[in-house]
Protein backbone atom coordinates (compact mmCIF):
# COMPACT_ATOMS: atom_id res chain seq x y z
CA UNK A 1 0.00 0.00 0.00
CA UNK A 2 1.38 3.42 -0.89
CA UNK A 3 0.26 7.02 -1.15
CA UNK A 4 -1.05 6.40 -4.66
CA UNK A 5 -3.94 4.48 -3.05
CA UNK A 6 -5.27 7.74 -1.56
CA UNK A 7 -8.27 8.77 -3.71
CA UNK A 8 -8.27 12.14 -5.39
CA UNK A 9 -10.95 14.61 -4.35
CA UNK A 10 -12.62 16.45 -7.19
CA UNK A 11 -15.72 17.51 -5.24
CA UNK A 12 -16.00 18.72 -1.66
CA UNK A 13 -19.65 18.21 -0.84
CA UNK A 14 -20.64 16.10 2.18
CA UNK A 15 -21.22 12.95 0.16
CA UNK A 16 -17.85 13.14 -1.58
CA UNK A 17 -16.01 13.88 1.64
CA UNK A 18 -17.78 11.03 3.44
CA UNK A 19 -16.92 8.54 0.70
CA UNK A 20 -13.25 9.62 0.48
CA UNK A 21 -12.62 9.51 4.24
CA UNK A 22 -14.46 6.19 4.58
CA UNK A 23 -12.15 4.72 1.92
CA UNK A 24 -9.00 5.86 3.73
CA UNK A 25 -10.31 4.69 7.11
CA UNK A 26 -11.12 1.28 5.62
CA UNK A 27 -7.56 1.05 4.28
CA UNK A 28 -6.18 1.88 7.73
CA UNK A 29 -8.34 -0.71 9.47
CA UNK A 30 -7.41 -3.42 6.96
CA UNK A 31 -3.73 -2.61 7.39
CA UNK A 32 -3.98 -2.66 11.21
CA UNK A 33 -5.81 -5.99 11.18
CA UNK A 34 -2.83 -7.63 9.46
CA UNK A 35 -0.25 -6.49 12.03
CA UNK A 36 1.46 -9.37 13.83
CA UNK A 37 4.97 -8.30 14.84
CA UNK A 38 6.52 -5.25 16.52
CA UNK A 39 8.33 -4.51 13.26
CA UNK A 40 5.03 -4.48 11.39
CA UNK A 41 3.51 -2.15 13.99
CA UNK A 42 6.42 0.28 13.63
CA UNK A 43 6.08 0.13 9.84
CA UNK A 44 2.36 0.91 10.19
CA UNK A 45 3.15 3.92 12.38
CA UNK A 46 5.66 5.31 9.87
CA UNK A 47 3.37 4.63 6.93
CA UNK A 48 0.34 6.36 8.42
CA UNK A 49 1.69 8.88 10.92
CA UNK A 50 5.13 9.67 9.58
CA UNK A 51 5.81 13.41 9.56
CA UNK A 52 7.21 13.58 6.03
CA UNK A 53 5.84 10.65 4.01
CA UNK A 54 2.96 9.45 6.18
CA UNK A 55 -0.37 8.83 4.49
CA UNK A 56 -2.22 11.26 6.81
CA UNK A 57 0.32 13.92 5.97
CA UNK A 58 -0.37 13.24 2.30
CA UNK A 59 -4.14 13.48 2.88
CA UNK A 60 -3.64 16.83 4.54
CA UNK A 61 -1.41 18.13 1.77
CA UNK A 62 -3.68 16.99 -1.07
CA UNK A 63 -7.15 17.55 0.26
CA UNK A 64 -6.89 20.48 2.68
CA UNK A 65 -4.81 22.62 0.35
CA UNK A 66 -7.07 21.96 -2.61
CA UNK A 67 -10.33 22.54 -0.72
CA UNK A 68 -12.21 25.79 -1.22
CA UNK A 69 -12.48 28.06 1.83
CA UNK A 70 -16.04 27.05 2.71
CA UNK A 71 -15.07 23.35 2.74
CA UNK A 72 -11.93 23.59 4.87
CA UNK A 73 -13.72 23.44 8.24
CA UNK A 74 -15.82 20.28 7.58
CA UNK A 75 -12.83 18.66 5.90
CA UNK A 76 -10.62 19.52 8.89
CA UNK A 77 -13.13 18.02 11.32
CA UNK A 78 -13.24 14.78 9.34
CA UNK A 79 -9.43 14.73 9.14
CA UNK A 80 -9.09 15.03 12.94
CA UNK A 81 -11.55 12.18 13.41
CA UNK A 82 -9.60 10.02 10.94
CA UNK A 83 -6.33 10.78 12.74
CA UNK A 84 -7.92 9.76 16.07
CA UNK A 85 -9.00 6.44 14.51
CA UNK A 86 -5.51 5.72 13.18
CA UNK A 87 -3.89 6.59 16.51
CA UNK A 88 -6.38 4.33 18.27
CA UNK A 89 -5.56 1.46 15.91
CA UNK A 90 -1.87 1.95 16.63
CA UNK A 91 -2.40 2.00 20.40
CA UNK A 92 -4.47 -1.16 20.20
CA UNK A 93 -1.72 -2.82 18.19
CA UNK A 94 0.82 -1.79 20.85
CA UNK A 95 -1.45 -3.20 23.55
CA UNK A 96 -2.16 0.10 25.35
CA UNK A 97 -5.80 0.44 24.44
CA UNK A 98 -7.47 3.31 22.59
CA UNK A 99 -5.88 6.78 22.62
CA UNK A 100 -7.15 9.71 24.70
CA UNK A 101 -8.34 11.37 21.51
CA UNK A 102 -10.30 8.29 20.54
CA UNK A 103 -11.85 8.07 23.99
CA UNK A 104 -12.72 11.77 23.90
CA UNK A 105 -14.59 11.21 20.67
CA UNK A 106 -16.83 8.63 22.35
CA UNK A 107 -20.02 9.49 24.18
CA UNK A 108 -19.72 10.42 27.88
CA UNK A 109 -20.85 7.72 30.29
CA UNK A 110 -23.27 9.64 32.50
CA UNK A 111 -23.59 6.68 34.90
CA UNK A 112 -20.06 7.26 36.23
CA UNK A 113 -19.93 8.98 39.65
CA UNK A 114 -18.93 12.64 39.51
CA UNK A 115 -16.04 14.28 41.30
CA UNK A 116 -17.40 16.06 44.38
CA UNK A 117 -15.44 18.99 45.76
CA UNK A 118 -15.92 19.26 49.50
CA UNK A 119 -17.08 22.66 50.71
CA UNK A 120 -14.99 24.27 53.43
CA UNK A 121 -16.36 26.10 56.46
CA UNK A 122 -15.25 28.80 58.86
CA UNK A 123 -13.35 27.64 61.91
CA UNK A 124 -15.54 28.10 65.01
CA UNK A 125 -13.11 30.70 66.40
CA UNK A 126 -13.18 32.67 63.14
CA UNK A 127 -16.95 32.30 62.97
CA UNK A 128 -17.43 33.62 66.52
CA UNK A 129 -14.93 36.44 66.03
CA UNK A 130 -16.70 37.58 62.86
CA UNK A 131 -20.08 37.38 64.57
CA UNK A 132 -18.92 39.61 67.43
CA UNK A 133 -17.37 42.06 64.98
CA UNK A 134 -20.61 42.26 62.97
CA UNK A 135 -22.60 43.12 66.11
CA UNK A 136 -20.45 46.18 66.77
CA UNK A 137 -20.15 47.08 63.09
CA UNK A 138 -23.94 47.43 63.10
CA UNK A 139 -23.50 50.01 65.88
CA UNK A 140 -21.15 52.08 63.74
CA UNK A 141 -17.81 50.68 64.94
CA UNK A 142 -14.96 50.21 62.48
CA UNK A 143 -12.36 47.42 62.75
CA UNK A 144 -8.84 48.17 64.00
CA UNK A 145 -5.81 45.95 63.45
CA UNK A 146 -2.23 46.04 64.65
CA UNK A 147 0.96 43.96 64.97
CA UNK A 148 1.15 40.85 67.17
CA UNK A 149 4.79 41.65 68.02
CA UNK A 150 4.58 44.85 70.05
CA UNK A 151 6.81 47.11 72.08
CA UNK A 152 6.62 47.26 75.85
CA UNK A 153 5.45 50.87 75.51
CA UNK A 154 2.33 50.13 73.48
CA UNK A 155 1.48 46.85 75.22
CA UNK A 156 1.97 48.05 78.79
CA UNK A 157 3.24 51.58 79.47
CA UNK A 158 0.76 53.46 77.27
CA UNK A 159 -2.04 51.38 78.82
CA UNK A 160 -1.04 52.66 82.27
CA UNK A 161 1.06 49.62 83.24
CA UNK A 162 4.31 51.37 84.25
CA UNK A 163 7.44 49.22 84.80
CA UNK A 164 7.13 47.32 88.06
CA UNK A 165 3.33 47.67 88.21
CA UNK A 166 1.88 44.57 89.94
CA UNK A 167 -0.84 44.25 87.28
CA UNK A 168 1.87 43.13 84.84
CA UNK A 169 2.12 39.90 86.80
CA UNK A 170 -1.37 38.88 85.69
CA UNK A 171 -0.24 38.94 82.06
CA UNK A 172 2.77 36.61 82.03
CA UNK A 173 4.47 37.75 78.87
CA UNK A 174 6.41 36.06 76.07
CA UNK A 175 9.27 38.40 75.18
CA UNK A 176 11.68 38.41 72.23
CA UNK A 177 15.19 37.36 73.29
CA UNK A 178 18.45 39.33 73.19
CA UNK A 179 17.08 42.85 73.69
CA UNK A 180 19.07 43.82 76.75
CA UNK A 181 20.58 46.84 74.97
CA UNK A 182 17.17 48.32 74.19
CA UNK A 183 15.40 50.65 76.58
CA UNK A 184 12.52 49.09 78.53
CA UNK A 185 9.79 50.74 76.45
CA UNK A 186 11.36 49.63 73.13
CA UNK A 187 11.74 45.95 73.96
CA UNK A 188 9.65 43.62 71.81
CA UNK A 189 7.14 41.07 73.05
CA UNK A 190 4.12 39.12 71.87
CA UNK A 191 1.12 41.26 72.71
CA UNK A 192 -0.87 40.06 75.71
CA UNK A 193 -4.05 41.88 74.66
CA UNK A 194 -5.25 43.85 71.64
CA UNK A 195 -5.23 47.08 73.68
CA UNK A 196 -2.09 48.44 71.91
CA UNK A 197 -4.26 49.04 68.84
CA UNK A 198 -6.37 51.42 70.93
CA UNK A 199 -3.34 53.65 71.51
CA UNK A 200 -2.11 53.33 67.93
CA UNK A 201 -5.57 54.37 66.69
CA UNK A 202 -5.79 57.38 68.99
CA UNK A 203 -2.32 58.50 67.93
CA UNK A 204 -3.29 58.31 64.26
CA UNK A 205 -6.67 60.09 64.42
CA UNK A 206 -8.46 62.63 66.61
CA UNK A 207 -11.76 61.84 68.32
CA UNK A 208 -14.46 60.72 67.84
CA UNK A 209 -13.26 57.10 67.70
CA UNK A 210 -15.35 53.95 67.66
CA UNK A 211 -13.41 50.76 66.92
CA UNK A 212 -13.45 47.07 67.71
CA UNK A 213 -10.15 45.20 67.64
CA UNK A 214 -10.29 41.47 66.94
CA UNK A 215 -7.04 39.53 67.01
CA UNK A 216 -4.71 36.90 68.37
CA UNK A 217 -2.86 37.42 71.66
CA UNK A 218 -0.21 35.46 73.58
CA UNK A 219 0.44 34.78 77.26
CA UNK A 220 2.71 32.33 79.01
CA UNK A 221 -0.23 30.39 80.45
CA UNK A 222 -0.21 26.67 81.17
CA UNK A 223 -2.53 24.70 78.89
CA UNK A 224 -5.66 23.36 80.57
CA UNK A 225 -9.34 22.95 79.78
CA UNK A 226 -10.02 26.69 79.73
CA UNK A 227 -6.58 28.29 79.17
CA UNK A 228 -4.20 28.40 76.22
CA UNK A 229 -0.96 30.32 75.57
CA UNK A 230 -2.55 31.51 72.33
CA UNK A 231 -6.09 32.85 72.22
CA UNK A 232 -8.20 35.60 70.65
CA UNK A 233 -9.76 38.78 71.94
CA UNK A 234 -12.18 41.40 70.72
CA UNK A 235 -11.64 44.75 72.40
CA UNK A 236 -13.57 47.93 71.83
CA UNK A 237 -12.96 51.64 72.28
CA UNK A 238 -15.38 54.55 72.09
CA UNK A 239 -14.12 58.13 72.59
CA UNK A 240 -16.10 61.35 72.17
CA UNK A 241 -17.48 64.21 74.19
CA UNK A 242 -19.95 63.35 76.95
CA UNK A 243 -19.47 59.55 76.82
CA UNK A 244 -20.81 58.10 80.09
CA UNK A 245 -20.92 54.77 81.90
CA UNK A 246 -24.57 54.54 80.87
CA UNK A 247 -23.45 54.50 77.22
CA UNK A 248 -21.10 51.63 78.06
CA UNK A 249 -23.83 49.64 79.81
CA UNK A 250 -26.30 50.17 76.98
CA UNK A 251 -23.76 49.17 74.34
CA UNK A 252 -22.72 45.94 76.06
CA UNK A 253 -26.29 45.00 77.01
CA UNK A 254 -27.29 45.31 73.35
CA UNK A 255 -24.24 43.31 72.22
CA UNK A 256 -24.90 40.46 74.66
CA UNK A 257 -28.52 40.24 73.55
CA UNK A 258 -27.43 40.19 69.90
CA UNK A 259 -24.98 37.35 70.62
CA UNK A 260 -26.99 35.20 73.04
CA UNK A 261 -30.63 36.14 72.53
CA UNK A 262 -32.98 38.87 73.64
CA UNK A 263 -33.82 37.10 76.92
CA UNK A 264 -30.28 37.38 78.30
CA UNK A 265 -29.68 39.87 81.11
CA UNK A 266 -26.48 41.69 82.09
CA UNK A 267 -25.12 43.00 85.35
CA UNK A 268 -21.96 44.91 86.24
CA UNK A 269 -19.66 44.44 89.26
CA UNK A 270 -16.81 46.76 90.34
CA UNK A 271 -13.39 45.55 89.25
CA UNK A 272 -9.91 46.88 88.49
CA UNK A 273 -8.01 47.37 85.22
CA UNK A 274 -5.07 49.78 84.96
CA UNK A 275 -6.37 51.41 81.78
CA UNK A 276 -9.96 52.09 82.93
CA UNK A 277 -11.42 53.94 85.90
CA UNK A 278 -14.00 53.04 87.08
CA UNK A 279 -13.81 49.43 85.89
CA UNK A 280 -16.34 46.60 85.91
CA UNK A 281 -16.75 42.91 85.25
CA UNK A 282 -19.78 42.05 83.13
CA UNK A 283 -21.90 39.00 83.85
CA UNK A 284 -24.74 37.61 81.76
CA UNK A 285 -27.62 35.45 82.93
CA UNK A 286 -26.79 31.80 82.33
CA UNK A 287 -27.77 30.83 78.79
CA UNK A 288 -27.94 27.15 79.78
CA UNK A 289 -30.42 27.35 82.65
CA UNK A 290 -32.00 30.74 82.03
CA UNK A 291 -30.67 32.08 85.31
CA UNK A 292 -32.15 29.33 87.52
CA UNK A 293 -28.77 27.87 88.50
CA UNK A 294 -26.91 24.89 87.08
CA UNK A 295 -23.48 23.23 87.12
CA UNK A 296 -22.13 25.42 84.32
CA UNK A 297 -22.91 28.67 86.16
CA UNK A 298 -21.98 27.11 89.54
CA UNK A 299 -25.61 27.39 90.56
CA UNK A 300 -25.40 31.19 90.61
CA UNK A 301 -27.50 31.82 87.51
CA UNK A 302 -24.78 34.16 86.14
CA UNK A 303 -21.66 33.76 84.00
CA UNK A 304 -18.79 36.25 84.03
CA UNK A 305 -17.92 37.10 80.44
CA UNK A 306 -15.88 40.29 79.96
CA UNK A 307 -14.29 43.35 81.48
CA UNK A 308 -14.90 47.02 80.77
CA UNK A 309 -14.66 50.53 82.14
CA UNK A 310 -14.24 54.22 81.42
CA UNK A 311 -10.90 55.09 79.82
CA UNK A 312 -8.41 56.26 82.46
CA UNK A 313 -7.28 59.89 81.96
CA UNK A 314 -3.68 58.64 82.13
CA UNK A 315 -4.25 56.73 78.87
CA UNK A 316 -5.54 59.88 77.18
CA UNK A 317 -2.43 61.68 78.42
CA UNK A 318 -0.24 59.27 76.44
CA UNK A 319 -2.38 59.76 73.31
CA UNK A 320 -2.25 63.53 73.82
CA UNK A 321 1.51 63.48 73.16
CA UNK A 322 0.75 62.97 69.45
CA UNK A 323 -2.90 64.07 69.28
CA UNK A 324 -3.62 67.16 71.42
CA UNK A 325 -7.36 66.61 70.91
CA UNK A 326 -7.32 63.84 73.53
CA UNK A 327 -7.62 66.28 76.40
CA UNK A 328 -9.13 64.30 79.32
CA UNK A 329 -10.83 67.51 80.49
CA UNK A 330 -12.83 67.73 77.26
CA UNK A 331 -13.41 64.14 76.18
CA UNK A 332 -14.29 60.80 77.73
CA UNK A 333 -14.60 57.24 76.54
CA UNK A 334 -15.08 53.61 77.43
CA UNK A 335 -13.29 50.40 76.57
CA UNK A 336 -14.15 46.71 76.86
CA UNK A 337 -12.58 43.35 76.04
CA UNK A 338 -13.79 39.78 75.73
CA UNK A 339 -12.22 36.39 74.99
CA UNK A 340 -13.44 34.84 71.75
CA UNK A 341 -12.70 31.25 72.78
CA UNK A 342 -14.80 31.59 75.93
CA UNK A 343 -17.79 32.82 73.95
CA UNK A 344 -17.29 30.11 71.29
CA UNK A 345 -17.16 27.42 73.99
CA UNK A 346 -20.46 28.67 75.39
CA UNK A 347 -22.20 29.00 72.02
CA UNK A 348 -21.12 25.59 70.70
CA UNK A 349 -21.00 23.56 73.90
CA UNK A 350 -17.23 22.91 73.77
CA UNK A 351 -15.69 21.89 77.11
CA UNK A 352 -12.00 21.77 76.12
CA UNK A 353 -10.29 24.84 74.58
CA UNK A 354 -7.57 22.65 73.08
CA UNK A 355 -10.08 21.14 70.65
CA UNK A 356 -10.09 24.42 68.74
CA UNK A 357 -6.39 24.05 67.98
CA UNK A 358 -5.96 20.27 67.61
CA UNK A 359 -6.83 20.29 63.90
CA UNK A 360 -9.09 17.24 64.28
CA UNK A 361 -11.35 17.22 61.21
CA UNK A 362 -13.93 15.10 63.05
CA UNK A 363 -14.36 17.95 65.53
CA UNK A 364 -14.17 20.81 63.03
CA UNK A 365 -16.50 19.03 60.61
CA UNK A 366 -19.38 19.57 63.05
CA UNK A 367 -19.30 23.29 62.19
CA UNK A 368 -19.36 22.85 58.39
SS3 content of the chain, % helix, strand, coil (to 5): 45, 20, 40
In a domain, 81, yes or no: yes
Calculate the alpha carbon distances from 260 to 127, 144, 301, 302, 338 in Å. Answer: 15, 24, 15, 13, 14
Report the phi/psi class of residue 175: left, alpha or beta, with left for phi > 0 and alpha for psi in -120 to 50: beta
Q: Please state, rounded to an integer, the average pLDDT across all residues of the chain.
A: 86
Predicted local confidence at residue 73, as pLDDT: 83
Euclidean distance between CA atoms 158 and 156, whole angstroms: 6
pLDDT at 146 over 90: yes
Element (H, E) at 208: none
Pair 218, 262 in one domain: yes
Predicted local confidence at residue 170, as pLDDT: 62
Q: Average pLDDT in the 336-356 region?
A: 91
Element (H, E) at 54: none
Contact in structure between 82 and 49 (CB atoms under 8 Å): no
Pick the range with the lowest mean pLDDT from 44-48, 163-167, 189-193, 313-317: 163-167
Q: Average pLDDT in the 70-86 region?
A: 83
Pair 328, 257 in one domain: yes
Euclidean distance between CA atoms 124 and 135, whole angstroms: 17
In a domain, 264, yes or no: yes
Q: Average pLDDT in the 138-147 region?
A: 95
Euclidean distance between CA atoms 288 and 306, whole angstroms: 18
Q: What is the 8-class DSSP label of residue 175?
A: B
Pair 215, 302 in one domain: yes
- Mapping DSSP to helix (H, G, I), strand (E, B) and coil, where does residue 139 land? coil
In a domain, 175, yes or no: yes
pLDDT digits (tens, 9 = 90+) for 258-313: 999 999 999 999 999 999 999 999 999 999 888 888 888 888 999 999 999 999 99
* CA dihedral of residues 74, 78, 83, 88 (deg, nearest 10): 140
pLDDT at 339 over 60: yes
Predicted local confidence at residue 364, as pLDDT: 84
Pair 98, 197 in one domain: no
Pair 166, 220 in one domain: yes
Contact in structure between 86 and 45 (CB atoms under 8 Å): no
Pair 315, 214 in one domain: yes
DSSP per-residue letters across 67-78: S-HHHHHHHHHH
More confident residue, 199 or 76: 199
In a domain, 112, yes or no: no
Pair 24, 161 in one domain: no
* The total number of structural domains that make up the chain: 2
Give CA 287 to chain center in angstroms: 30
Sign of CA dihedral 216, 221, 224, 226: negative
Pair 268, 313 in one domain: yes
pTM for the structure as a whole: 0.65
Pair 306, 179 in one domain: yes
Q: Which runs of E-coded beta strand occur in the chain?
A: 142-143, 149-151, 188-190, 209-218, 230-240, 266-273, 276-285, 302-311, 332-339
The CA-CA-CA angle for residues 216, 219, 221, to 5°, reads 125
In a domain, 38, yes or no: yes
CATH number, position 316: 3.30.930.10
Pair 143, 16 in one domain: no
Euclidean distance between CA atoms 364 and 217, whole angstroms: 22
Range of the domain at 13: 3-105
Q: Helices 313-320 and 196-204: crossing angle, nearest 10°?
A: 50
Pair 359, 322 in one domain: yes
pLDDT digits (tens, 9 = 90+) for 1-38: 555 577 777 777 878 877 888 888 888 888 888 887 88
pLDDT at 141 over 80: yes
Amino acid sequence: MNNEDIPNLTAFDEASLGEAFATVERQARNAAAALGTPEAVEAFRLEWLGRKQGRLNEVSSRWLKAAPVESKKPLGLRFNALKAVVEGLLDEALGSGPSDAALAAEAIDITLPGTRRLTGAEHPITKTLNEITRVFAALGYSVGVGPEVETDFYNFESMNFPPGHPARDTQDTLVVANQERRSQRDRLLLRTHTSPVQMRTMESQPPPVRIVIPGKVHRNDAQDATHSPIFHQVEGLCVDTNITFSDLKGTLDHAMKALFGSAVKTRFFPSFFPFTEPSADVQISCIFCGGKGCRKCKNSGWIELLGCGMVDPAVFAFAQEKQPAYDPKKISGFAFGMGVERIAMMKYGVSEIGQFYAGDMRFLGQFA
